[in-house]
Amino acid sequence: MNKSKRSSLPPWKRPWQWFWFTLALISSLILIAIMPAGSGTKMKKRPSAATTVQLTQPIDSSRNQSERQQHTSSTNSDKSPSPTASGNRHQPTKNASFLHKLVLKASDIGKLFFMVSIAALIGSIAEARKYHLIFGFILKRFSKMMRLPVIVGLAMPTALYSSTAANSMLVSSHAEGKIEHSSLIAGGMANSYLAYVSHSLRIMYPVIGAVGLPGLMYFGGQFFLGFLFILGVLLWHRRRILRHAEQLGGDTTVYQEETPDKIPLPWKQTFVKAGTRIGTLLFRMMLLTVPLMLFVEWLMKKGIFEFWEQHIPSQVTRIFPSELVSIVFTQVGGLVQSASIAANLRDYGVITNSQILLAMLVGNAVGNPFRMLRRNLPSALGIFPTKEALTIVFGMQISRIICTILLIVITALFIHYTH
């Protein structure tokens, strides 16, 4: 079996994957068994605003001391070993059995898997039926408005399913002298943005299925600001081409070419492909996400991340608490994994939706340069001339960093003034 066929096989058809799956399952069971009981020092729900106001009001010291003594005595007299006394199913007692812990974790993980599966099904159907290519007609009309050569307008929808094919169309036309240098740069940046959107759509559905509103705002904010940057580039191109046309007293050269349309899959194959993708996603989540999620929870209950709140100013930890550090670190390994961990922490009440969004944005800012060096730059250098490749890649990278920093600042200010 050649390498391409082997890579297309689902993970459950590879013997070595079952070895790692078994190892991950055993690790998960061990983590559940040794998980500290209760919420632990670092897994407590953060006080609400009303509670904070009450705690900050000045109280007479003698009265406060007597009330504390009465509260302590009443609390000690009302103690009960019943697991249901606290009313929180996520906080088993110290004597909770392994089976009880396993049932609670299986319920949480099952709900997460269900939401991710539904979202992945929607995304797989949209991709297999080529619904995103509906934008092809709009993109072609938009390219005419921006005075782009027709080949650029044809390449833009092509970038939704193959950025290599789209960029190759531009480079070959530029080599034949049919499009200008500015059109090559503008088209390459537009293709990069559309390829990013297309790639993000594949993981957007399971991420939104895991965390909900923060995932929607994470992708929506980056899509919108990225579009504004591309719009600025195309407006610059339009102005340059119009000025050049006025100097020459003519119009720009138009290169006609047809692009082969991707035929949507039949519904039967669509559901088969969707089932395979969902199975692959859940298999990998069980392989990596679940052990990592349990390991992060164990670290937090052990107080490993307490150094963050001990050495970082309180103004920072109030906006970016220690729990968010684990989300940032795990996002380097995958957005779905970090979203799953964020959903688990939110279920415990230790972080909010806005803090999840902040952690995802910070993780994106940290991981973007590495993704650029590992994937975007080598791919561009293999297609474009060196100067154009560097211009497109670093131009897009700088714009994404600026957009991400802007979103981080807005989210941090929102947390500062609302929490």
Q: Give the rounded percent of residues in the chain with a pLDDT score beyond 70.
A: 75
User: Is the model's pLDDT at 133 over the cut of 90?
Assistant: no
What is the per-residue pLDDT for 269?
A: 85
Question: Which element (helix H / strand E) includes 3?
Answer: helix 3-8
- 174-230, pLDDT tens digit by residue? 887 888 888 889 889 999 998 898 888 888 888 998 899 999 999 999 999 999 999
CA distances from 322 to 175, 326, 355, 405 (A): 53, 8, 11, 20
Tell me the percentage of the chain whose pLDDT exceeds 90: 17
Residue 38: name the closest of 301, 352, 326, 344 by CA.
301
Q: What is the pLDDT of residues 155-179, one digit of tens each?
A: 887 787 778 888 888 888 888 788 8
How much helix, strand and coil, in percent to the nearest 5, is found in the chain? 75, 0, 25
| pLDDT tops 60 at residue 43 | no
Most confident of 81-95, 261-275, 386-400: 386-400
The predicted model gives 135-139 an average pLDDT of: 68
Give the lowest-confidence range in 31-45, 178-192, 201-215, 238-252.
Answer: 31-45
pLDDT band with cut points at 50, 70 and 90 for residue 55: very low
**What pTM does this model have?**
0.69
Predicted confidence band at 134 (pLDDT cuts at 50, 70, 90)?
low
Element (H, E) at 271: helix 267-284
Burial 160-184 (b: 16+ CB within 10 A, else e): bbebeebbebbbebbeeebbbeebb
Q: Lowest mean pLDDT of 105-109, 219-223, 299-303, name the range.
A: 299-303
pLDDT value, residue 260: 45
Could you please report the per-residue DSSP string of 124-179? Answer: HHHHHTTGGGGHHHHHHHHHHHTT--HHHHHHHHHTTT-HHHHHHHHHHHHHTTSS
Average pLDDT over residues 409-419: 89
The predicted-structure confidence for 334-347, as pLDDT tens digits, reads as follows: 788 888 889 888 88
Q: 389-401 pLDDT, tens per residue?
A: 999 999 999 999 9
